Amino acid sequence: MKKRVLSIPLGLAAAAVALAACAPVSSTGAPASSAGATSLTVFISGDTNVQDLWEKGIIPAYESAHPGASVRTTIDLHGEHDQQTVAKLVTATKAGDAPGYDLVDAGFVTGSATEAGTLLDIDGKVSGLSDVPAATVKAGKGTGIPYRASSVLLAYDSTKVQTPPKTLDELLAWIQANPGKFAYNSPATGGSGGAFVTTVLDSYLSDAEQQALRTGHDTAAEAGWAKGFDRLKQLGSSMYQSGVYPNGNTQVIDLLGTGAISMAPVWSDQIMTSVKNGLIPKTVKYTQISGPSFTGSASYLGIPKTSKNTAGAIDLVNFVLSPAGQRIIAEKISGYPVIDVKKLPEETAKTFADADPSALRPSYFAEVSGDMADQWDSRVP
């Protein structure tokens, strides 16, 4: 079957803005500075929603609770310069120089930045971690501080699906019994589709094989994907429009919102925010499946070893991990709290009742995820 991918072009203006960004910039337009006991800079490698979380949520609340404190941000939009950022951080660490920021919010915190030895060992230093599950802390590799999380959930139109599937087997049976009513994006274009594919593949692997694919680039374990890819190929004719795979997470949300499909895997923060903002009807609900569940993970902060204000950075982190900080994350960007939801106001905790944020099943090692996307392209559509 020929591959069909539903694609909607992005606006030229947005593309021009992205291409024009050539380096991280301070949110104030001024050079970042970490001088002074109460002055902190947070470096962000990510999207504007994370920038807004800090600038419109966490920072104002922290400064209000700590008179005299001053926190600013500097952002590398979409993490376009992560390699250069890490290289500069390595150089600063070796020279014993301050890198220009005191806290890092980036995907490379638990990857290349930790591997290069640029971040502070947080063992016993961050009191707020006492309320975070040990497994989530351990995944930070001794330097990463988990502060929010997200996972892929099963979203469904409750006007058409009264009893959603509870397990992967039930979901696959539902897809075949309701042709054209389910969609997932191609894995190379977004994590929600990648999570669906990963979950199907994992259902044919042993625990040892799954672990090998999460901790390293194990091509021998990848050989076990054959049956999973065969199953995904069999499902092709039952997909949206008999085999159309949307281009990206957002297009899947759009199809749900317009009623073109009745069920799909979606990112937790995207679906919760879309429902809250009225972008899709409140009749679209979400849940987590089991046997296995969809994948999810925490996002981590890191403190540069050579920051001139590590004490201030630790204080800010402890605020972020407090119930007040976690509530901001939950309400601003629908991020999973990493502390027990029972510590949050009932109305906030209720948002996550069907999501089970305590069960985060990690996705594959980066190179393995790339292999999976390539093999899906050649074997499934």
pLDDT digits 0-9 by tens, 288-305: 999 999 999 899 999 999
**Which of 183, 151, 161 has the alpha carbon at shortest distance from 284?**
161
**Which of 20, 17, 73, 19 has the alpha carbon at shortest distance from 45?**
73
Which token pair is 370?
A: 């790339």
Which token pair is 336?
A: 């999973």
Distance separating alpha carbons of residues 359 and 295, to the nearest angstrom: 9
- 248 to each of 56, 67, 74, 187, 365, how far by Cα in Å? 27, 43, 27, 8, 20
Beta strand 244-246 with 103-105 is unpaired
105 forms beta bridges with: 44, 301
116 pLDDT above the threshold of 60: yes
pLDDT at 34: 35
What pLDDT band is residue 359 in, cutting at 50, 70 and 90? low
Provide mean pLDDT across the span 345-363.
79
Question: Locate tokens 């971040």: which residue?
Answer: 119
97 pLDDT above the threshold of 80: yes
Alpha helices in the chain (DSSP H): 12-20, 48-52, 59-65, 82-95, 112-115, 134-138, 168-177, 191-202, 207-215, 219-222, 226-234, 249-258, 268-276, 310-320, 323-333, 346-350, 366-379
pLDDT at 36: 37
Contact, 172 vs 230, CB < 8 A? no
Mean pLDDT of the chain: 88
252 pLDDT above the threshold of 70: yes
26-55 tens-digit pLDDT: 443 333 333 334 799 999 998 888 999 999
Question: Locate tokens 């209720």: which residue?
Answer: 350
pLDDT at 22: 39
pLDDT at 357: 65
Predicted TM-score (pTM) of this structure: 0.75
pLDDT at 18: 35
Which token pair is 50?
A: 């994370």
Provide mean pLDDT across the span 199-228.
95
pLDDT > 90 in the chain, percent: 74
Question: Locate tokens 């995820």: which residue?
Answer: 369
**Which of 111, 359, 363 has the alpha carbon at shortest distance from 213?**
363
Contact, 243 vs 236, CB < 8 A? yes
pLDDT at 80: 85
Beta strand 244-246 with 70-77 is unpaired
Each as own residue / partner, the long-range contacts of residues 14-23 (CB below 8 Å, 24 or more positions apart, any chain) are 18/77, 18/78, 18/80, 21/76, 21/77, 21/80, 22/81, 23/76, 23/81
Provide mean pLDDT across the span 219-247.
97
pLDDT at 101: 98
**Which of 183, 195, 187, 179 has the alpha carbon at shortest distance from 156?**
183
14 pLDDT above the threshold of 70: no
Contact, 357 vs 297, CB < 8 A? no
Provide mean pLDDT across the span 179-192.
95
pLDDT at 353: 76
7 pLDDT above the threshold of 90: no
- 135 to each of 3, 81, 182, 221, 362, how far by Cα in Å? 39, 30, 33, 24, 11
Query: Which of 11-15, 104-108, 231-235: highest mean pLDDT?
Result: 231-235
- 34 to each of 73, 165, 308, 318, how far by Cα in Å? 11, 51, 7, 18
pLDDT at 21: 38
Provide mean pLDDT across the span 8-30.
38
Distance separating alpha carbons of residues 206 and 224, to the nearest angstrom: 9
4 pLDDT above the threshold of 70: no
* Kind and range of the H or E run holding 103: strand 103-105
Query: Which of 26-30, 316-320, 329-333, 350-354: highest mean pLDDT?
Result: 316-320
Phi/psi at 121 (5° precision): -70, 120
Q: Tell me, what amino acid is at 373?
A: A
